[in-house]
Amino acid sequence: MAEQLGAAVTAQGEERPLGPGERYLSADDVEALALGAWILGTGGGGSPYLSLLNVRQLYKQGHKVVLKDPMTLPDDALVAVLSTQGAPIVGMERLGDPENSLKPLRILEDYLGRKFDAVMPVEIGGGNGVMPLMVSAISGLPTIDADSMGRAYPEAQMTSFSAAGLQCFPLAMADIRDNEILIKTADSWKWMERISRKICTELGSTASTCKAPRSGAEVKKFGVLHTTTKAIGLGRAVFEARKNHTDPVAAIVENCDDLKLFKGKITDIERRTTEGFLRGRAELDGMDEDQGRQFTLDFQNEYSVGSQDGKPVVMTPDLICVVDSINGDGIATETIRYGQRVTVLALPAPEIFLTPRGLELVGPRAFGFDFDYKSVF
């Protein structure tokens, strides 16, 4: 049964009968996904724009993408967990492509001696929420409506699969120079992060990856489910607000039950790329109802802590989403700049990251802060 999952659409884009829980993503769905994933990326995951351009072109060529409900996966299905690893700012300069994104999946298939049945993003946030669609379009494999973060995080161990204690290997990587890497085993998730990060840095701080394969049963039990659908709904809400000339930020808050924390103008930005990460801080002066207040955003690829008037008020694993106050676009850590008018929003974290193990992996102390997690909700 599992080996038939990828037959819903061929690599030439020919339609086949859809299986249980499957549907074709329309071109409008893809546009909405890119916008929603940019917002849910909490500043990271890389820009979805280049992946979106690739998917647009693939759709013009007749390819299509099937989205599959994770709860309809057979337990023995083999799922490829895909991402682009590295510093997001590098991804703005080095263009990816579908064939390069497919390479790590093929490397793992050769090593495992088995074909994958489906793909999924390691994170729904940013470009990594869109990138698997490129692989789906050219391989014929469905994309699973799930990820392992519910947002974006910077390190390999910061996933729901790691929090659940699942195996972290094997892992495959590839770059645009035809370098291919297979990590057959690693002592722990943290060691897998350290090893792959060093390799990624040598490859120019960006690489396509296929993480440790997951079974259908593991995805259903430990994945963060239906996040692609969530991102599409969020993107559609913003597009609808723009069309109707209503407030897109209010549409985001209504769609996701966000908490609006701060509205202001970027007055200072400091960032640097070190060890394959984009690290830094942004400072805001309040506007409108927040006039006279200050807000600070610390980030490591993603926004990790938000402080108002010097006091931390929102922190990882809760989602800190920074959006353009005018059009509702997500604003990433690599694109945030002086003078932007932005609104800081917060969304609650997936439950698995609020467990003791989850907080150990993605709480503020995991990012070097000397305080424990306190929910803003």
pLDDT in tens, 270-287: 988 777 678 899 999 999
Q: At residue 315, does pLDDT exceed 90?
A: yes
Predicted confidence at residue 316, as pLDDT, reads 96
Judge contact between 120 and 42, C-beta under 8 A.
no
DSSP alpha helix (H) spans, the chain: 27-40, 49-60, 88-91, 98-112, 131-139, 160-163, 189-202, 216-222, 227-243, 248-256, 356-362
Helix 227-243 vs helix 248-256: angle between axes, to the nearest 10 degrees?
150
Q: At residue 11, does pLDDT exceed 50?
A: no
Predicted confidence at residue 5, as pLDDT, reads 44
DSSP-derived 3-state class of residue 307: strand
Average pLDDT over the chain reads: 91
- Nearest CA to 30 out of 153, 129, 178 is that of 129
- Domains annotated for the chain, with CATH where assigned, are 2-228 (3.40.1610.10), 247-367 (2.40.390.10)
Q: Which two tokens stand for residue 194?
A: 């350290």
Q: At residue 6, does pLDDT exceed 50?
A: no
Q: Which two tokens stand for residue 108?
A: 């793992």
Q: Kindly report, residue by residue over 168-182, the tens digit of the pLDDT.
A: 999 999 998 889 999
**Residue 1: pLDDT band by 50, 70, 90 thresholds?**
very low
| Percent share of the chain, pLDDT over 70 | 93
The count of C-alpha atoms lying within 13 angstroms of the C-alpha of 284, restricted to the half-sphere facing its C-beta, is 25
Q: At residue 74, does pLDDT exceed 50?
A: yes
Q: Kindly report, residue by residue over 230-245, the tens digit of the pLDDT.
A: 999 999 999 999 999 9
Q: Kindly report, residue by residue over 18-65, the tens digit of the pLDDT.
A: 889 999 999 999 999 999 999 999 998 888 988 899 999 999 999 999
Predicted confidence at residue 17, as pLDDT, reads 81
Q: For the residues 107-134, what does the mean pLDDT come to?
A: 96
Q: At residue 114, does pLDDT exceed 60?
A: yes
**Residue 299: pLDDT band by 50, 70, 90 thresholds?**
very high
Q: At residue 8, does pLDDT exceed 70?
A: no
